[in-house]
Amino acid sequence: MQVSMKLSGKFRRLALLVALLFSVFSLAASSGVRLSVEPARGKRGIAVGDAFYLTITVTDLKGDVAAPASVPGANVVYFALTGQSSSMTTVNGHTTQSSAKTYTATCRAKTQGDYTFGPITVAGVRSNTVSYKIGAPGSNEPPAPKPNAQGNAPDRSGDGPKFIGKGDGNLFLRASVSKTTAFEQEALVYTVKLYSSYAQIKFIGATEAPKFEGFVIEESKDVSQQLTYETYQGKTYATAVIARYIIFPQMTGSLKVLGNTYTVSVDEREYYHDPFWGQMSVSKPMQLNVSPNDLSIEVKPLPQPQPANFSGGVGHFEIYSTFPKTSLLTNQAAQAVYTVTGTGNVKYVKLPDLNAIYPSQLEVYTPTADVKAQVGSTNVTGTIDFDYSFMPLETGSFTIPSVSLVYFNPDSGQYETSVAKGTEVTVGAGKASAKSQTKEKTVFHSELMSAGTKLLKEHRPIIRGFAYWLWFIIPTLVLVAAVVVWRKQAAMNADVIGTRSRRANKVARKRLKRAALCLKKGDSANFYDEMLAALWGYLGDKLKIPGSELNRDNVTGRLAEGGIDESARDEVVRLVDVCEFAKYAPAASKGDMQGVYDSAARLIDRLEDDFKQDKR
């Protein structure tokens, strides 16, 4: 009797556990839409000017979530799919499936006040409503840490993922740079490395872009494809390089690199003792917001005085020359190709003016440059082919001199020179040019006028006719007009900055065409690169701002001085933020590329009209 009662008691507990498991599975399989609002990393609340995150979690629904048209009191800077998961469970032959997607809208607080957002509807299912408060600037200081039995670890009680600041010792990021003291334009390597002691990492994604103020950057694809193990401060971590950039400082002084924010989803094992099953563990998901440390780099100017023919190259370079033909004809184009290879700021290398080097009998035209650069793990390596065309004007033998490429070697701290060899060319007579003169034969007629021919008394010499003098007046007027136009064009070309300003719209249109090609191909990475080049290039050329001083503050200040209204200035900042966020977002989330393209095209048209009106 006692044995049967004990068995029945065990069966009751087993039945209760099975029922509990079924209830958990049915609860997990329920579909729905959930909204949540979180402040930026390390912030206690949301203040005017701060970024915050609106998260939309969709469970077991097939509908897609569109970017919010507006968020009360804030601007939507970026919207993307930041996480997705699926699971399948089979109990006693009954299989259940569940899937979830997480969308994150990055917003920037604009107006102080209390606001609500929602509900929204996805596939016919309504979400909850979230409330949030935007305070005055500076009212969001991070809360003081609350120590517990495990030291300064965060509180993980309650349901749902928890957010922490820069890691709790089990997961953090470290940023490093190859040199903390460097020369201007010298290539540096900026690396972000992940350290984790959690059982599993499910997702890593950047929610904002790193801030390289005063740098030109090239993103490297040389990141870790799998985890490795490393001992740091006496503890073993799984590590991976998640981001690597080659950065080139564009100004001297102390420059800062501000680390960006990453969202990391991990599984943490929690152990407990069950009266029936004994020692058990469960995997609990956590979502962490982590960011690497900020860095400061001291940038030194290049040694002065610089050589007169300095190419602008900083690194290691060599130059070679190729002459396809050395037997030439007058008034027929010939070719000279100079190839520069090396590592460093290869995209910014320039050659000296060959018209000042070549013989005066050879007229040299502006070259076409073909740049092929590869971003490696420690530097940018590539080649530039400068293809020159020149025209021999006279016959004879001429010497094309060697061409020197002067660059700065940061390893030796000195200017160095690489020389491309010259050659001898022989020029023969080609087709006659417009300058050639032809001699006409003079024909003397021996026949004399007959004696019966009468002379006209009213005969008038042709030199007294107006038609005769038109042959002199018209060419003279054409020559004067050509000289005036030529002098005006020369003055305009001498004003390089003014010329760039006048051609800013035309150059921006070419870059937008390249962005449109990337849009058709679905190439999001190059699309956002071209959009940023179009926006920054147009603003820098139009406002006559050097590349070293091109930033948001300078651009908005110059636009305000030029009478551009606030809505246009806000649209400029918003589009730049959207492109930068999308560039460093996960590869799976391309964002609204068509919307970005259309907005940028309208913005450039609007600014161009405003600039013309202001000029009038």
Average pLDDT over residues 28-50: 76
Residue 339 and residue 476: Cα distance in Å, rounded? Answer: 46
How confident is the model over 312-329, as pLDDT tens digits? 999 999 999 999 999 999
Decide whether 24-139 matches 159-301 in CATH topology: yes
Domain 24-139 sits in CATH at 2.60.40
**Mean pLDDT value of segment 178-206:** 87
Give per-residue pLDDT as tens, 19-34.
444 444 443 345 688 8
Which pLDDT value is given to residue 299? Answer: 94
Q: State yes or no: pLDDT of 86 exceeds 80.
A: no
What share of the chain in percent tops pLDDT 90?
Answer: 26
CA 227-231-235 angle, 5° bins: 110
Angular region, 403: left φ>0, alpha ψ -120 to 50, beta rest: beta
Predicted local distance difference test score (pLDDT) of residue 263: 84
> What confidence score (pLDDT) does residue 343 get?
95
Of 130-134, 265-269, 343-347, the one with minimum mean pLDDT is 265-269
Domain spanning 159-301: CATH 2.60.40: yes
What's the pLDDT tens digit per position in 423-449?
A: 999 999 987 654 444 333 344 444 445
pLDDT of residue 462: 67
Residue 162 pLDDT exceeds 80: no
pLDDT for 283 equals 72
CA–CA separation, 419 and 351 (whole Å): 12
Instruction: Summarize the chain as % helix, strand, coil (round to 5).
Output: 25, 40, 35
Boundaries of every domain in the chain? 24-139, 159-301, 310-428, 497-615
For 365-391, write each residue's pLDDT tens digit. 988 999 998 988 889 999 999 999 999
Q: Does residue 523 surpass a pLDDT of 90?
A: no
544: left (phi over 0), alpha (psi -120 to 50) or beta: left
Q: Of the spans 37-46, 130-139, 450-459, which averages the highest pLDDT?
A: 130-139
Q: At residue 48, does pLDDT exceed 90? A: no
Dig out the tokens for 87 from the structure: 């699971």
Residue 130 β-bridge partners: 117
Rounded to 5 degrees, what are φ and ψ at 603? -65, -45
Residue 5 has pLDDT above 90, yes or no: no
Confidence of residue 175 (pLDDT cuts 50, 70, 90): very high
* 257-309 tens-digit pLDDT: 998 888 888 877 666 656 666 566 677 777 788 888 899 999 999 999 999 88
pLDDT at 161 over 70: no
Rounded to two decimals, what is the model's pTM? 0.46
Provide the pLDDT for residue 461: 67
pLDDT for the residue 153: 38
Of residues 570 and 157, more confidently modeled:
570
Average pLDDT, the chain: 79
Fold of 310-428: Immunoglobulin-like (2.60.40)
The whole-number pLDDT of residue 114 equals 93
